[in-house]
Every structure is written in structure tokens, then in C-alpha cells.
Amino acid sequence: MSLSAHCGVIVEAMIQPLRSNPALAQYLQVGVVDEAGGYQALTDTKQALQAMDAARRAKQVQEASKTAQAPQL
């Protein structure tokens, strides 16, 4: 599946006929995909994870500066 910010909602329906009488439906399956919403959710998640990773790295640098020994030249 591919998502795009330029697409809208997609609705798909499938009717499964009875084996004994194909003129009758056994069940109906319906699926809905909001491509633009899904794309936005993925983009937001990616940005949040990148921000969390940057914060983690900055914290590691800060902690290392407090506990690491300075090099002797």
C-alpha cells in the first residue's frame, strides 16, 4: 500500500456470494483507507521519532561532558 498527501478517502466493498446460491450474499466486507490522514500520521510519527532521537543524543553528550575525563595533551 502506498499513501499520498494528495489522495482522499478510499472505500472498497466486496460481496461474497453463497456457494449454494450465487444470487445471494453470504457476507459483505467493507474497507476504508484515508490516504491523506495515513500519510500525515506517518509523517508526524517520523518527525516525532527524529526529535526523540536528537534529544537522546543531546542528553548523552551532556551526560558524557559531566562524567568523561578531559584528554591530556
| Least confident segment among 2-6, 17-21, 46-50, 56-60 | 2-6
pLDDT value of residue 43: 94
- Kindly tell me the burial class for residue 34, based on how many C-beta atoms sit within 10 Å of its own C-beta (0-12, 13-18, 19 or more): middle
Contact 10, 33 (CB under 8 A): yes
What is the pLDDT confidence band of residue 71, given thresholds at 50, 70 and 90? confident
Query: Does position 45 have pLDDT exceeding 80, yes or no?
Result: yes
Half-sphere exposure of 73 (CA within 13 A, CB side): 1
pLDDT of residue 29: 96
pLDDT at 3: 72
* The pLDDT of residue 1 is above 70: no
